[in-house]
């Protein structure tokens, strides 16, 4: 098809140049204008030698036309050339098909370079493959970037795995802060349901024995997730325990916790909490709500739901002069159940934002008022999942409460 040689265009003078410029020469000029390597090999001679190489090929490989013409282009291959790519080329040529591979080639001076090679068959009128056109692109820099990128990704993966491991460890330590056993008393029972999400969260609860007849019950939520939230729950746990010990006023315990946390919390972090003290001898529950969702008493005897709320700001974000907390009391009755939770369930109910759902939630609490605290908590858990059409909560799910034992 082409009878191409190189260099003869140079010998033409300007005058007859345009006149005698044949179609073939025009094609040759066009091919030489490309910075990619362009090669043509014939399929009609033994070992399919090259019959044309452009300037781009010479620049890329360092081989001249004399070096390359008449040889099979495999002379660019060497020791580390991927044999799978060579086999792919061989197979394509055997079938007369087009093919693109990336393979390591070597220049005349022996320097390796990555070649993205595309070969395309040229057919005669009878549909017989007579030639192949090859396009060679130097992708050495691209490969280098790819290798660097792969390395960077690998390092990132290792880093992520390390962080994940550390987060898992933080999660384990954080769970050790939560009580697994509660104080025992003839008149009151405590229970909790804690379903953590995968990530470390900021939920915290505790039940502390203040004296023979008084018990403090706390639920708290530290802002954020991850390590910062975990560290804050560690801090909160110690600060709160120390602050609450010996205090029979929930307001004072929360105020003291705020005083000790304020200035030691990072950035704009804060804690919300609900703290209650139950006096088993009087049956009185004293409570303070500090930026936290309200608590509930599920009263079995009268089939009532009694919300528990007080005035109260967030904890840890403002100085002692800026905060205001208060406390209220309620006389508990035999069979009463106190439920305190973090916002996982409320977030879902709020999202659904339907009066009917609130009504359903209330009737669920009442229906379950006859059952044990654990059963009530499980029912709340399931209700939230059903409402939100979820398989699991997007946040830690935490409920803690007490039940006045019926005699
Ligand atoms: C037009 C054309 C250009 C080619 N260019 C190259 C090339 O730049 N580098 C290379 O390693 N192989 C190139 N080859 C592939 C080899 O010539 C040869 O087909 C391959 O090594 C498989 O055949 P073999 O097993 O006979 O070596 C090209 C093939 C054709 C048809």
pLDDT band at 20 (very low <50, low <70, confident <90, very high): low
* DSSP, res 45: S
Ligand 1 lined by 41 (C-beta under 6 Å):
yes
Ligand 1 lined by 60 (C-beta under 6 Å):
no
Q: Whose CA is nearest to atom 26 of ligand 1?
A: 90
Ligand 1 lined by 54 (C-beta under 6 Å):
no
Distance (Å, whole) CA 233 – CA 177 = 9
- With a CB cutoff of 8 Å and minimum separation 6, the contacts of 16 are none
Mutate to test the pocket of ligand 1, among 54, 61, 73, 138 (most ligand atoms within 8 A of CB): 73
Ligand 1 lined by 101 (C-beta under 6 Å):
no
pLDDT band at 353 (very low <50, low <70, confident <90, very high): low
Give me the residues paired with residue 315 across strands: 271
pLDDT per position as a tens digit, 298-347: 999 999 999 999 999 999 999 999 999 999 999 999 999 999 999 888 88
**Which domains, and CATH codes, for the chain?**
8-138 (3.30.450.20), 178-404 (3.60.40.10)
Distance 74 CA to ligand 1 centre (A): 5
Neighbouring C-beta atoms of residue 210, cutoff 10 Å: 18
Q: Whose CA is nearest to atom 17 of ligand 1?
A: 73
Give me the residues paired with residue 329 across strands: 286
Distance 3 CA to ligand 1 centre (A): 20
80 backbone dihedrals φ, ψ, rounded to 5° = -100, 15
Distance separating the N- and C-terminal Cα atoms of the chain: 107
pLDDT per position as a tens digit, 271-296: 999 999 999 999 999 999 999 999 99
Neighbouring C-beta atoms of residue 83, cutoff 10 Å: 10
Ligand 1 lined by 93 (C-beta under 6 Å):
yes
Mutate to test the pocket of ligand 1, among 117, 133, 135 (most ligand atoms within 8 A of CB): 117
Q: Where do the H-state alpha helices sit in 245-372?
A: 250-261, 343-352, 355-367
Q: Whose CA is nearest to atom 2 of ligand 1?
A: 134
pLDDT score, position 21: 64
Q: What is the mean pLDDT of residues 370-385?
A: 94
Q: Is 321 exposed, middle or buried (0-12, 13-18, 19+ CB in 10 A)?
A: exposed
Asked if residue 232 lies in contact with residue 222, where contact means CB atoms within 8 angstroms, the answer is yes
Output the CA–CA distances (angstroms, integers) from residue 164 to 152, 157, 160, 170, 223, in the order listed.
18, 10, 6, 10, 20
pLDDT per position as a tens digit, 380-398: 999 999 888 888 888 888 9
- With a CB cutoff of 8 Å and minimum separation 6, the contacts of 66 are none
Distance (Å, whole) CA 5 – CA 53 = 9
Sign of CA dihedral 309, 312, 315, 320: negative
Q: Whose CA is nearest to atom 5 of ligand 1?
A: 73
Output the CA–CA distances (angstroms, integers) from residue 210 to 176, 241, 253, 387, 402, in the order listed.
21, 10, 12, 38, 15
Ligand 1 lined by 314 (C-beta under 6 Å):
no
Residue 57 alpha carbon, nearest atom of ligand 1 = 8
Asked if residue 131 lies in contact with residue 110, where contact means CB atoms within 8 angstroms, the answer is no
Asked if residue 61 lies in contact with residue 147, where contact means CB atoms within 8 angstroms, the answer is no
For tokens 């946390």, the residue is 261
Distance (Å, whole) CA 78 – CA 82 = 9
Ligand 1 lined by 90 (C-beta under 6 Å):
yes
Q: Whose CA is nearest to atom 7 of ligand 1?
A: 73
Ligand 1 lined by 119 (C-beta under 6 Å):
yes
Ligand 1 lined by 309 (C-beta under 6 Å):
no
pLDDT per position as a tens digit, 202-211: 889 999 999 9
Helix (H, G, I), strand (E, B) or coil at 173: helix
Choice between 356 and 44, residue whose per-residue pLDDT is larger:
44
Q: What is the mean pLDDT of residues 128-139?
A: 97
Neighbouring C-beta atoms of residue 27, cutoff 10 Å: 13
pLDDT score, position 16: 52
């Amino acid at each position: 098809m082409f009878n191409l040689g190189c260099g003869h265009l140079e010998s033409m003078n300007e005058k007859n140049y345009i006149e005698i410029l044949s179609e073939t020469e025009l094609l040759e000029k066009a091919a030489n204008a490309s910075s990619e390597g362009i090669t043509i090999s014939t399929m009609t001679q033994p070992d399919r030698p090259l019959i044309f190489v452009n300037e781009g090929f010479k620049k890329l490989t360092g081989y001249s036309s004399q070096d390359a013409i008449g040889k099979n282009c495999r002379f660019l291959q060497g020791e580390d050339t991927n044999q799978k790519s060579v086999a792919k080329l061989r197979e394509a040529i055997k079938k007369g098909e087009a093919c693109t591979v990336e393979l390591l080639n070597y220049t005349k001076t022996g320097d390796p370079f990555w070649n993205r090679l595309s070969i395309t068959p040229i057919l005669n009128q009878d549909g017989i493959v007579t030639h192949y056109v090859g396009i060679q692109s130097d992708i050495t820099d691209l490969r280098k970037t790819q290798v660097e990128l792969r390395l960077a990704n690998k390092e990132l993966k290792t880093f992520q795995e390390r962080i994940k491991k550390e987060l898992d460890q933080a999660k384990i330590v954080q769970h050790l802060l939560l009580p697994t056993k509660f104080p025992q008393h003839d008149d009151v029972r405590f229970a909790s349901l804690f379903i953590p999400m995968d990530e470390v969260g900021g939920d915290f609860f505790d039940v502390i024995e203040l004296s023979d007849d008084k018990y403090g019950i706390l639920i708290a939520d530290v802002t954020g997730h991850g390590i910062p939230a975990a560290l804050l729950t560690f801090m909160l746990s110690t600060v709160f325990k120390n602050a609450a010990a010996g205090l029979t006023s929930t307001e004072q315990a929360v105020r003291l916790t705020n005083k000790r946390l304020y200035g030691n919390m990072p950035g704009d972090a804060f804690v919300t909490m609900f703290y209650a003290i139950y006096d088993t001898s009087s049956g009185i529950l004293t409570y303070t709500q500090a930026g936290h969702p309200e608590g509930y008493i599920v009263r079995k005897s009268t089939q009532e739901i009694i919300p528990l709320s007080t005035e109260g700001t967030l904890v840890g974000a403002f100085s002692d002069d800026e905060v205001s907390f208060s406390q209220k009391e309620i006389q508990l009755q035999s069979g009463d159940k106190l439920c305190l939770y973090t916002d996982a369930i409320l977030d879902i109910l709020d999202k659904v934002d339907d009066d009917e759902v609130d009504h359903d939630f209330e009737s669920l609490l009442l229906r379950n008022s006859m059952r044990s605290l654990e059963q009530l908590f499980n029912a709340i858990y399931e209700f939230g999942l059903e409402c939100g059409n979820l398989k699991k909560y997007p946040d830690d799910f935490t409920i803690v409460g007490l039940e006045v034992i019926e005699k």
